[in-house]
Amino acid sequence: MAKDLNLSLLTDFYEFTMSQGYFNNHFKDTEAVFDMFFRKVPDEGGFAIMAGLEQLVEYLNDLKFDDSDIEYLRSKHIFSEDFLEYLRNFAFTCDVWAVREGTPIFPNEPIVTVKGPIIQAQLVETMLLLTVNHQSLIATKANRIVRAANGRAVMEFGSRRAQGINAAVYGARAAYIAGCVGTSCSITDKMFGIPALGTMAHSWVQSFDSEYEAFKAYAEMFPGDCTLLIDTYNVLKSGLPNAIKVFNEVLVPQGFRPKGVRIDSGDIAYLSKKMRRILDENGFEDCKIVVSNSLDEYIIRDTLVQGACIDTFGVGERLITSKSEPVFGGVYKLSAVFQDGKEIPKIKVSENVMKITNPAFKSLYRLYNKDTGMAVADVITLFDEEIDESKPYELFDPEHTWKRKKVTNFKAEKLLVQVMDKGRLVYDFPPLSEVKSYCLNEIDRIWDEVKRFENPHSYYVDLSQKLWDIKQKLLVENS
């Protein structure tokens, strides 16, 4: 896995050419601030979920260039020996702030901030984006699916469809943070303690002379954890009757109850209703019905609207690849440099208004209503700004500044927490189960209107007056 490899060269090549440029122009130690943010929520959703921070910090902790890396760069014949020697002795000494994993996040707000020598902050761009973009994408998609299931369990079943080893393992991790109950991926259980779940494939049933014999053999091996796959031949005519026969002959006499039956094909709404009636009539009201087969949030929602009797969903390819929108467009932009201890805010200007960045060294607050506990808005401020909870705070739309609102009776929480101080880890990563609980709790604090799948209400992400003033000044100067 990533933590077992030297990933120093997992970066875009221009990071090295720019870094040599910084080095040759005598500002390799110039302090700079870079922000990661994203511009659009996948699937036109109302919010995304932050994930991948722990793996990012593992990378930053281990960042070094070994002899083979130096030899590779030397072979390109464009890097000076002084610069290569700098890389040979490289040590990451930046400060890093980030939004906690599991936090609902919104476009244009800083979710990772790196402050330190400009070469160091520049070189980590690719891996930072790769790590946070991927896991945030999968966590966001997984939570949409979990919410569509409306309290029913969702299992991540996507390993065999993932785009590579890390995508399978860390995708399962992100899905668990977002609310999935477990994964089909065994190594993810070993690494992160995420429950590995699964029963049998159709090949197990096919390998026996009869479906009944296959079920009986499995029940005899795993009487306390028996879920049978009943759609190899015919769900209602053979699969379910054979399963019930085995339940009565093998499990019940030993004092066990069946865990469930699973189908992976057919009209799952129609079949599940028939299955539920037959199971109940035979005294197996507690037997769960598990379904899989190219599910996503829309199929799950529609089957439940149709009265499907489903207890657990196994979701694979459309979750682990976020098939409907497989890109999380996080970017990493310079926002300030420091000269003689003085901050010089930086801005990127574009004809495309969406691509204009927010300048300066920043902080991020979330305002919660004290009575309801619900999130009201996020405010991006200058780093040293404090929001006074004892006074009314005026929010205003950064693009349509006449839209203003004063909020009172609120609690302001800083979302960016310091993770690294001069390259040293200063943050205690909580157990993954706590990250999951935190994630689901924070989502509960987002209004339902923001959580709609179609046309969600836009959550407010505003700028403080001081930050807005700096941005307008820079826009005028650079127009």
CATH numeric code, 2-138+326-358+415-458: 3.20.140.10
Which tokens is 277 given?
């009636």
- Confidence band (pLDDT; 50, 70, 90) for 354? confident
Give ∠ CA 109-112-113 in degrees, rounded to 5: 100
Q: What is the pLDDT of residues 164-186, one digit of tens each?
A: 999 999 999 999 999 999 999 99
Question: What predicted TM-score, i.e. pTM, was given to this entire model?
Answer: 0.96
User: Within 10 A of 77 (CB to CB), how many other CB atoms are there?
Assistant: 6
Identify the CA nearest to 236 among candidates 193, 280, 274: 274
Statement: residue 441 has pLDDT above 60 = yes
Task: Report percent pLDDT > 90 for the chain.
Answer: 94
Helix (H) or strand (E) holding 24: helix 13-24
Q: What is the pLDDT of residues 444-464, one digit of tens each?
A: 999 999 999 999 999 999 999
Q: What is the pLDDT of residues 10-27, one digit of tens each?
A: 999 999 999 999 999 988
Which tokens is 23 given?
């080095």
Helix (H) or strand (E) holding 176: helix 165-177
Return the CATH superfamily for domain 198-293.
Answer: Aldolase class I (3.20.20.70)
Contact status, residue 133 vs residue 330, Cβ threshold 8 Å:
yes
**What confidence score (pLDDT) does residue 3 get?**
53
Phi first, then psi: what are they for 211, rounded to 5°? Answer: -65, -40
The domains of the chain are located at 2-138+326-358+415-458, 198-293
Cα separation of 361 and 349, whole Å?
A: 17
**What confidence score (pLDDT) does residue 254 get?**
97
Q: What is the pLDDT of residues 372-407, one digit of tens each?
A: 999 999 999 999 999 999 999 999 988 889 999 999
Bridge partners of residue 196, in order along the sequence? 183
